Amino acid sequence: RKEVEQDPGPFNVPEGATVAFNCTYSNSASQSFFWYRQDCRKEPKLLMSVYSSGNEDGRFTAQLNRASQYISLLIRDSKLSDSATYLCVVNGDSGYSTLTFGKGTMLLVSP
Amino acid sequence: EPEVTQTPSHQVTQMGQEVILRCVPISNHLYFYWYRQILGQKVEFLVSFYNNEISEKSEIFDDQFSVERPDGSNFTLKIRSTKLEDSAMYFCASTQGGGGADTQYFGPGTRLTVL
């Protein structure tokens, strides 16, 4: 069974804090990895893809460790608008593009 | 920016009734997907569709479900005889290519409530 596991949360942090989310996946044949953001009762929206070399987009840094089947997301200088659920997402094997989602970790940033 | 649209935003139906959920994918996209999210749970893959046929489906997508692209723009999900446990948010998504790294763009979802 292909699973993606995430910290259950919620994470309550003050504005300006740095917060890290962790994720593990079970399907070693997975090829592509993503972090999506989901606001309450809204659709998932792509935050960033995750590459083996690690990648950064402004305040967001994603890391992938294929050997450990582990993905992380670091958010620096948290803003109130970062409050959302962060979904770790992995694609299927053999290049199929169906996505397997983690349950998500909720982040609440307070003033 | 082009976006995936879905109608209706909320559908309420009686158990045993048929429902059709509609999606308009991004116009130059070729691969289409349906996902569902039961309240408080994770997003789950239902089915993928390319070149007018199903390319992959999950164990959730049983004989009660069907998909269709009736014309050049719409992509529909039909549930033949709804059950209480079909109550969920249903998201349509589309991609331009079928590769695993292609970004899937999600529509705003249809909230289905089965009474």
Least CB–CB distance from B104: residue in A92, A95, A99: A99
Torsion angle (degrees, nearest 10) of CA A111, A9, A67, A47: -50
End-to-end CA distance of chain A: 41
Least CB–CB distance from B31: residue in A31, A38, A97: A97
Q: Choose from A38, A98, A103 for mutation: most chain B CBs within 10 A.
A: A98
pLDDT higher than 80, residue A1: no
Confidence band, pLDDT 50/70/90 cuts, at residue A93: low
| Cβ atoms within 10 Å of A83's Cβ, excluding its own | 18
Q: Where are the beta strands (DSSP E) in chain A?
A: 4-6, 11-14, 19-25, 33-38, 44-50, 55-57, 60-65, 70-75, 84-91, 99-101, 105-110
B91 interfacial to chain A (CB closer than 8 Å) = yes
pLDDT higher than 80, residue A6: yes
pLDDT higher than 90, residue A42: yes
Q: How far from chain centre, in Å, is Cα A41?
A: 18
> Mean pLDDT, to the nearest integer, of B80-84?
96
Vertex B67, ends B61 and B73: CA angle to 5°?
Answer: 145
Q: Exposed (0-12), middle (13-18) or buried (19+): which is B93, by Cβ within 10 Å?
A: buried
Q: What's the CA gap between A37 and B35, in Å, rounded?
A: 16
A2 interfacial to chain B (CB closer than 8 Å) = no
End-to-end CA distance of chain B: 37
